[in-house]
Amino acid sequence: MATLTCPGCAATVSHDDLICFTCGTNLPRRGPVSEESTPPTVMQEYLRPDASAAPGTPRPATGPISPVVLRLSFPAGNVDVPAGTSLVLGRDPGEALVAAAFANYENVSRRHATSTVSDTGHATIRDEYSTNGTFVNDDRVLPGTDVRIGDGDRVRLAADVTAVVSLPGRQGFSTNGHHSAG
């Protein structure tokens, strides 16, 4: 498959990315991927083991980038949230960097929910007083309340936009799939 580049800054982007993680530009939607595996994200490339290291031994994280990334796998594509950041999910491009993913879902609010990953790798989602609600594993999130999400959880916006949560484990941090009000 040909290398894909961001129209805003010409950085290399993955077929499944909804935004450029270099400059924040919304990426145009493309047709279905014919590959069986998803290309690695920028974070996965950063965490790739050193060639000189023993097989399966990840390179220790250095520098300001945390190895913990929350990935929400929506039908329209993947949304990645690096540690120490928040991302608004919704249809309004002025509010949400990933608005293109929800453009065809009128029941998703313009500013529907905010997903946050702390510096320590704990992920939460907060309903932003949406019209049709945010759900974690079919439990409705109270508006304005942060709810913990973990690997394997299902996040649903409104009635029919569901994402599977991928949150890699990190030594010393629990990502066992349980959620609770934060």
Q: The tokens of 39 are what?
A: 């290309």
Half-sphere exposure of 148 (CA within 13 A, CB side): 13
Domain range summary for the chain, segments of one domain joined by +: 4-166
Least confident of 61-65, 138-142, 146-150: 61-65
Q: pTM of the prediction?
A: 0.60
CB-CB contact of 16 with 27 (8 Å)? no
The pLDDT score that the predictor gives to residue 29 is 63
Phi, psi of 42 (to 5 degrees): -55, -40
Domain 4-166 - what CATH class?
mainly beta
**104-137: per-residue pLDDT in tens?**
899 999 999 999 998 888 999 999 999 999 999 9
Taking CA 32 as the corner, what is the angle to CA 4 and CA 96, rounded to the nearest 5 degrees? Answer: 70
